[in-house]
Amino acid sequence: MIRLFLSFMFTFLFCLSPLFSESKENRNFAKNIIEDITVFSLIESAFEHPKDLFLYPGSAKVLASYLAKPNSTKSTVTFFLAITPDFKILFDTGSDPNVLLKRLNEIQINPDQINFVCITHMHPDHIGGLINAKGTAVFTNAEIFIPKREADFNSNNKIFEIYGDAIKIFDTNEEIIKRVKPIPAYGHTSGQTMYKMTTKGKSVLFWGDILHAPVQFSKPDIYTHYDNNPKETVAIRKDILEQVSKDKTIIAGVHIAYPALGTVSKTKDGYKFMPLAAGK
Ligand SMILES: [Zn+2]
């Protein structure tokens, strides 16, 4: 009898499971329209960072108390596609060309349609989507923008050979593409650079790895084992958080939880991320 009951329950649950998965919200991408720019957050993966990734120069007890807060280490690997009336531009590429192609396909974009790819820094979770499994370029019509300091530090990377003249190394704070300005944010890596895109008085800041988890909004002094220069990393993070909390620039962060796009508000002792409502 018990066996019959279990087999019935199993069949019942098994038949019902497609309904559950269908009703589950699609978290592979989020679409937001900001004036005349459509920004897609394309989510490669969502996960929790291990707590021992995080470091704090002050007391271990304080660090533990921040890490104990719910969702404090929630993260993603996300890359962004901005579509303007004139061009399509990708900010970072994630780590996996197959996921990148899958996500682009889900929003009916062919990689050949991408005009520009802007790289914040050359860690594998930001440039991994540039080269496919066959060792050839994923983007055949795009110019790939890389900050000079990143290019110098990673000059042996095979992307330089594979993309050749399509790589545009820049060393400027002036507009590199219409309405797109690079802003240096050294610290996490020696040349990490953010990109600010402006449209009709609104701005979106594609900030790369200014932080890796919500705990660093609450306590910006917390850094990670990934950070090349912790002191610079924390200083620039504090500057940027203060600035975007004042001017309400929309931020797009590679390691921010879904939808990875939103604004920042100041709290009593730190900052808070306010996600943008993601329309589909
Ligand atoms: Zn990263």
- pLDDT tens digit string along 190-241? 999 999 999 988 999 999 999 999 999 999 999 999 999 999 999 999 999 9
Q: Which pLDDT score is estimated for 85?
A: 95
Contact predicate 122/154, CB 8 Å: yes
CA of 234 to the centre of ligand 1 (A): 16
Q: Which pLDDT score is estimated for 122?
A: 98
Q: What are phi and psi of 154, to 5 degrees?
A: -120, 35
Can you tell me the distance from the alpha carbon of 210 to that of 192, in angstroms, rounded to the nearest whole number?
Answer: 9
Q: Which pLDDT score is estimated for 246?
A: 97
CA of 76 to the centre of ligand 1 (A): 9
CA of 141 to the centre of ligand 1 (A): 25
Can you tell me the distance from the alpha carbon of 37 to that of 276, in angstroms, rounded to the nearest whole number?
Answer: 14
Among 110, 84, 81, which residue's Cα sits nearest to residue 94?
Answer: 81
Give Cα 14 distance to the centre of its chain: 35
CA of 164 to the centre of ligand 1 (A): 24
CA of 219 to the centre of ligand 1 (A): 19
Q: Which pLDDT score is estimated for 277?
A: 77
CA of 123 to the centre of ligand 1 (A): 6
Question: Residue 191: what residue type?
Answer: G
CA of 4 to the centre of ligand 1 (A): 50
CA of 8 to the centre of ligand 1 (A): 46
- pTM here? 0.90
- pLDDT tens digit string along 117-148? 999 999 999 999 999 999 999 999 999 999 99
Q: How many CB atoms lie within 10 A of CB 19?
A: 9
Q: What are phi and psi of 231, to 5 degrees?
A: -65, -50
Q: What does the block give as tokens for 43?
A: 């989510």
User: Which protein residues have a CB closer than 5 Å to ligand 1 (ion)?
Assistant: 125, 209
CA of 3 to the centre of ligand 1 (A): 49
Question: Which class does domain 29-275 fall in?
Answer: alpha beta
CA of 46 to the centre of ligand 1 (A): 13
How many angstroms separate the Cα of 229 from the Cα of each of 186, 213, 236? 8, 18, 11
pLDDT band for position 19 (cuts 50, 70, 90): very low
